[in-house]
Every structure is written in structure tokens, then in C-alpha cells.
Amino acid sequence: MSFVGLVVLAATLAGAGLFLSPWMLRSELWRATVTPLASIIGSGFLVLGPILAHAFGMWATTAMAALCIAAWGFGAAIRYNIAYAEPLPEGEDVLVDRLETFSGAALAGAYIVSVAYYLNLFGAFGVSLTPFNGAFEGRALTSAMLIGLLALGWFKGFTAMEKVEMLTVAIKLAVIAGLVAGLAVYFFDRAGAGALKFSAPHLGPWASFTLCLGLIVTVQGFETARYIGGAHTAPVRIRAMRLAQGLAVVIYLVYTVFLSFSFSVDPGALSETAIIDMMAVVAPLLPFLLVAAALAAQASAAIADAGGAGGLGAELTGGRLSPKASYAALVAAGLALTWGSDIFTIISYASRAFAFYYALQATIACRLALRRDERPKAMIFGLIAALGLAAAILGAPAEGKAG
């Protein structure tokens, strides 16, 4: 095994040991942080790097920083709502109550699209290292997973997956540690040889802006901290969301710097699994680790969001729509998206859906800030809401080949 391969293996094992250590598992803050962190740094992390390197070239890190700043703003609105919307008695502010209802409906819709997004990535990565690496085969695997998801939810429910959540999260974060370590060695080796890439952007200013809006789903996931109130107090969840977003920002920026200056992405080679071929150059071990992490991450994320969509559907309809019926609708929508769109379009759909949810949450935060006579904060949350609405309307897909 090469030196880079040894570094990748050592970093992966060290990461697994850390994330599964008794100290980490006993820490309430870490347990609260795991859910949003795992949602933020999913397999979208693997897709995002090549997209940014292709579209922005040497300015990819600037685009990544812009995405992280937008995500931090949306997160700030949700943290404000954890602190001030949750304790508000129902009926005290009719506008907030209605916005919360609309927000729940938007989140349910976002979950439906995100399940299709997760499982299409599952299908693409699942066939990527096999002789059957094609768009049709990936979609067929995705379809089988969607039907299996329906069977699991219909007959067993999704609670059985809770026991393996910490394991899948540890695997994913450990592999990301190995990926970043391997990229670091490769980057500094290229720098020493004077062989770093300084690629020009492929997009103009407006196309760059709308593409970033269409990639919000790849830095999304921090909002899950708002919905684990049964397990953690509001102050713990607020701290956990800040920690999760802070760690994600560091990981994303370091990863983007190493990737964008080490590789140039040919437009014809941009696909949802482009990272596999790129990382094979760094270390032959990395593609297998990335596929294992992607499969574990996407399966658990899809199950979690499917469960959330089912519960929200029943709650929003007052029980008239059962969770089982919600699962069936979700799978039908997932199959339609799988066979009617490519993965880059599905990513933009998911980004738009989550952006609309964030716009509603920021509007709630703006309303509460006005109630509390915090006008500067109200103005900031209003701007954040406008950004979310713009993303919901204008978010554009990356241009690449699926499969």
C-alpha cells in the first residue's frame, strides 16, 4: 500500500475510534450534534466538490464559502425560533401559528424530494464500481430501494433503524476524515511539484449565482436540531447546531481547497460519481471507502426523511392521511423523479424545496424579532427570508451527465 493509502487508512480508523469512543457516545452535546452534522455532511458532500471545481475552477472555495454563509444565516433563523418560537403558546400569535403550519407542509414536501435525492445517489454510487455502471442500472437500483423503503415503512415502521444510526454516522465521518487526509497529502505533493491547478471558471456571474442557489441542499441538514426536542433541551440543541455547522464549514472549505487546486474537472466527465475516479488517483483504497460511506449514509438518511415525511403528513392532515399513505405517496413521487429527471435536476428541486422552508422559518424569526423589538435582527431575518425565496425560485441545476 502506498504512503497516501496508509494515511487514508490511519485517518479513517482514527476517525472511527473517535466517533465510536465511549466518551463521545456519552456526551449529550455530541449526541445532539451528530444528527445535524450527519445530515449536513452527507453524500452531497461528495457530489458538491466536483461540481464546484468544474463550475468555478480556482474560485470554488469562494463559492463554497458563500454557500456556508447562506447556510449559517438560515441556521441562525432556526436557532432563533428554537429559543423564541417553541415556547410561544399556541394561539398567542396567529401569524406565527399559520407560518409554522405552512413551514411544516414545506418541510414535508422537501423530505419527499430529498428521499429521491438520497436514493438516486445511493443508486449511482451502488453501481459505480461494478460492470453495470450506467444510468439505467443506477435508476433500477434506486427504484428497488424505494420499493423496499415502502415495504419497510408499511410493515415494520422506521424505528428499527435508530439502533444503527450512530454506527452509520461514525462510518461516514470516519471515511470523510480519511478522504480529507488523503487529499491533503496529494495536495501538498502537487504543490511541491509546482503542479497545482488554477482552472478558469466555466460559468458567468448570473449562472454562478443561480447554481449556488440550486446547491443549498448539499449544505442543508442543520434544521434537524429543531426537531429533536424530545431528547435535548433548547440550549443544547442551539449549541449543537452551531457546533455542527462550524465543523461542517471547516471540513467543506478544507476539502474544496484541496480538491479544486488538485484537479480540473472536464465538462464531459462531470457526473454524480465523478469523485470516485478522482479519488482513485489519490489512493486506490479511497473509492471503496467512499462507496461504502455513501451507501450507508444515503440509506440511513432516506429512511430518516421518509419517517419524518410520514409523521408530518399525518400531523398536518389531523390523522386523515395515515403514515402508510404518506409513504406510498413519497415512493410514487420518488419513482417519478427517478425516471423523469437526472440527479443534478433532483438536487436543484430538493434545494428549492428546502430553501422555501428556510424562507418561512426566517419569516417567523423576523416576526418574533419585531415582537421583541429587535429591529436590526428583524431586518437581517427579512433579508435571509428573501434569499431563501430567491433560491426557491431561481435555483438552477448543474450541467453534467448522470450515470
Cell numbers describing residue 268 = 464531459
> What's the pLDDT at 165?
61
> What's the pLDDT at 21?
85
Task: Encode pLDDT of 300-329 as tens digits.
Answer: 777 767 776 776 777 677 767 777 787 888
Q: How confident is the model at residue 337 (pLDDT cuts 50, 70, 90)?
A: very high
Domain layout of the chain by residue ranges: 3-394
The per-type count for the chain, helices as H runs and strands as E runs, is 15, 0
* Measured CA distances, 251 to 68, 78, 167, 360, 366 (Å): 11, 22, 20, 28, 30
> What's the pLDDT at 268?
63
> What's the pLDDT at 370?
95
Using the CB atoms, write b or e for 313-348: b if 16+ within 10 Å: bbebeeeebebbebbebbbebbbebbeebbbbbbbb
Q: What is the mean pLDDT of the chain?
A: 85
C-alpha 57/C-alpha 50 separation (Å) is: 10
C-alpha 92/C-alpha 96 separation (Å) is: 9
Fold adopted by 3-394: Amino acid/polyamine transporter I (1.20.1740)
φ, ψ for residue 23, nearest 5 deg: -65, -45
Q: How confident is the model at residue 336 (pLDDT cuts 50, 70, 90)?
A: very high
Q: How confident is the model at residue 80 (pLDDT cuts 50, 70, 90)?
A: very high
Task: Encode pLDDT of 195-220 as tens digits.
Answer: 898 888 888 889 999 999 988 888 88
Over 70: is that where the pLDDT of 137 sits?
Answer: yes
Q: What is the percent of the chain where pLDDT is above 90?
A: 35
Task: Encode pLDDT of 354-388 as tens digits.
Answer: 999 999 999 999 999 999 999 999 999 999 999 99
C-alpha 355/C-alpha 339 separation (Å) is: 24
Instruction: Report helix, strand or coil for 291.
Output: helix
DSSP 379: H
Find, among 174, 179, 228, the residue nearest to 36 by Cα.
Answer: 228
DSSP 161: G
Q: How many residues does the chain have?
A: 403
* Full-model pTM: 0.87
